Amino acid sequence: MSLTFLTGSERSQPLPARFLEQGDGDCASPASEPIGNGFSLDRTLGLGAPQIHGLLVDDDNLLGFGIYPGDRLIVDRSATPVVDQYLVVRPRGAAEYSLRLLAPDPRGGLLLKAARPSIPSMALDDPDSIEIWGVVLWVVSYVGRKQP
């Protein structure tokens, strides 16, 4: 599986205050629009916070999780993992990170399951054997049609 860690220059910056205020001086605001602080994708996803990082999914190895090539994973490096969350992990000594689902082991303990059934699960019985890089909080997918 291939994940690309998005560089600092591709990380979102905090929104300028003018976008957080009601309306924009350059745009007409229809009377039927709701009044409030508006919707901020950056604020919703936590982008700009030092512990929040974006990863790009480069291939189709995560289709079993419903995650597609080109999707962006929003990962929190400070979150405590819980069962049924996706984790970005790397076994000690491995070169690449992978995405796994934290699941209960029917025999007790915890497993890290891969999206493909042909890839064996990893037992999480020795926390020092696996680096947990972060917890996936959001999967952002582009569903529109690209303009030529």
* Of 144 and 93, the one with more pLDDT: 93
Cα distances from 148 to residues 58, 70, 145, in angstroms, run 22, 18, 9
Residues 59-115 pLDDT 10s = 999 999 999 999 999 999 999 999 999 999 999 889 999 999 999 999 999 999 999
Rounded average pLDDT over 123-144: 89
Whether residue 136 has pLDDT greater than 80? yes
In this structure, of 1-10, 15-24, 50-59, the range with the lowest mean pLDDT score is 15-24
* For residue 11, pLDDT beyond 80: no
pLDDT at 32: 52
The pLDDT of 18-44, averaged and rounded, is: 57
The average confidence (pLDDT) of the chain is 81
Per the confidence metrics, is the pTM higher than 0.75? no
CATH 2.40.100.10 for the 50-148 domain, yes or no: no
> Would you call 134 exposed, middle or buried from its count of C-beta atoms within 10 A (0-12, 13-18, 19+)?
buried
| In the predicted structure, residue 28 carries a pLDDT above the cut 50 | no
Ramachandran angles phi, psi of 104, nearest 5°:
-70, 145
d(CA 58, CA 42) in angstroms, rounded, equals 22
Average pLDDT of span 30-47:
67
Domain boundaries, the chain: 50-148
| Order of strands across the sheet that contains 3-5 | 3-5, 52-57, 72-76, 130-140, 86-91, 98-104, 110-113, 122-123
Lookup: tokens for 138:
């959001």
**Strand-pair category, 86-91 with 130-140:** antiparallel
